Structure 1
Amino acid sequence: MDKLIAKTACASLLPLTVGSVSVSEEDVGAITSVSPLKGQKKALSDAMKAAHGMAYPAANRATGKSGARAVWFGHSHAMLIGPEPDASLEKHAAVVDQSDAWAVVRLEGDRAEQVLARLVPVDLRSGHFKRGHTVRSLLFHMTASITRVGENAFQIMVFRSMAETLVHDLKRAMEGVATRG
């Protein structure tokens, strides 16, 4: 009988460095969709603080830190990234495991903003888009979640099925920025 081997979304595609910008796959642990039940947003936020040390995020924001982060994902929708969700969250929200559905990469370097400027129709410069800010937007022609996680670092999430396209598009943009000197 054949043995199946689990692979990450970006297996054999990353890491990649072009010029001063690098992209690497992140192993973020569990990824869980958390959507508050009607009238339960505040209670959910309190439960998340007690269980995971972070509040439910406001629109276009992320809370927590690397290893345990909550990222806004749309109206009444966030992703808990890192820890397995505490059972107490289920009293206040629809909680659904999404761990195998997403490719998660980290783009970093002193010209990372310039790389994303070639792909994203949103101003992600640090003067407007600070650490902890997040956006759901197009990245070239696919939907992505982009969160600033450092001065020159971004966490990017796309559907797992788009991992190869994401790496291809980032590489082309990185090459374009690198050739401009």
Structure 2
Amino acid sequence: MVDLVAKTPAEGLLPVTMGGLNLREVVLGVMISLAPFKGQDVQVEKLLGGALPKVGRSVSKAGQEVVWFSQGQYLVIGGAVDMLLVKHAALTDQSDAWCAITLEGVGSEAVLARLVPVDLRAGTFKRGHALRSQLGHMPLHITRTGKDAFRLMTFRSMAGTMVHEVTHKIKLLSARG
């Protein structure tokens, strides 16, 4: 019998520290996509114990984060959900489907400005803001997690490309001094 070894999507590729920027993988644990059925938002919020985030936002409560993920769809990160939700929403386990990395440090906005076709400056994209975009040809979900910090997520199968693209831009900006 073959012994299988569990690996994270970016295992062996990260961390990268250069020019005051840190790029590292984040293991988010349980991630459940949640799409409330029509007219069921109030029941979903009751079972979640709080309001669903507005479009382009995330909310955190008691070690769990709920992130706007797409039109009418949310991602619950960091813990199991009440299974009574199945009566009010479509639920799908996404725990192994995504690669999540954080980009932190002064200059993180400059790195992302060269990769993502949206304005991620702090004046317009504040902590707790979230959006779907692209990194090159790949789908990307971005959440600002701090003043100079972002969580980037793409499909697990694209982890190597995401790490390569972000690392390449970090190197280019670091070379400028």
TM-score range, shorter chain: over 0.9
Matched with 1:112 is: 108
Alpha-carbon distance in structure 1 between the residues aligned to 2:150 and 2:83 = 30
1:139 matched to which residue of 2? 135
Instruction: Give the letter for the 2:42 counterpart.
Output: K
TM-score, normalised relative to structure 1: 0.94
Structure 1 position 98 matched with structure 2 position 72: no
The answer as to 2:146 corresponding to 1:150 is yes
Q: Matches of 1:67 and 1:155 in 2, distance apart?
A: 16
2:64 maps to amino acid: A
Distance across 1 between alignment mates of 2:138 and 2:75: 19
Q: Which residue of 2 aligns with 1:13?
A: 13
SS in 2 for 1:27: coil
Distance 1:85 1:70 in 2: 11
Distance 2:11 2:61 in 1: 25
Letter in 2 for 1:41: D
Q: CA deviation at 1:67?
A: 4.2
Deviations 1:99-150 (A, max 9, x none): 1100011110011111100000000000000001001001122110000011
TM-score when scaled to structure 2? Answer: 0.96
**Number of the residue aligned with 1:23:** 23
- Matched to 2:5, the amino acid is I
> 1-side partners of 2:145 and 2:61: how far apart?
8
The code of the aligned residue for 1:95 comes to L
Return the alpha-carbon distance in structure 1 between the equivalents of residues 85 and 25 of structure 2. 28
TM alignment of 1:27-46, pairs within 5 A: 27-46=27-46
Change (3 A) 1:179 1:67: farther
Contact 1:28 1:67 in 2 (8 A): no
TM-aligned CA deviation for residue 94 of structure 1? 0.7
- Distance in 1 between the 2:122 and 2:43 partners? 32
SS of the equivalent of 1:129 reads coil
Alignment of 1:123-138 (within 5 A): 123-138=119-134
Secondary structure of the corresponding residue to residue 165 of structure 2: helix
Percent identity over paired residues = 46
2:60 pairs, out of 55, 60, 64, with 64
Bigger shift: residues 114-123 or 86-95? 86-95
How far residue 151 of structure 1 moved from its aligned partner, in angstroms, is 0.7
| Distance of 1:150 and 1:174 partners within structure 2 | 19
Cα 1:171/1:66, change in 2 over 3 Å: farther
CA deviation vs aligned residue, 1:13-55 (integer Å, no higher than 9, x gap):
1111121111111111101100001101122122212xxxx43
| Unaligned segments of structure 2, at least 5 residues | none
Give the CA RMSD over aligned residues. 1.3
Alpha-carbon distance between aligned partners in 1 of 2:11 and 2:62, rounded to the nearest angstrom: 21
Q: Which amino acid aligns with 1:36?
A: P
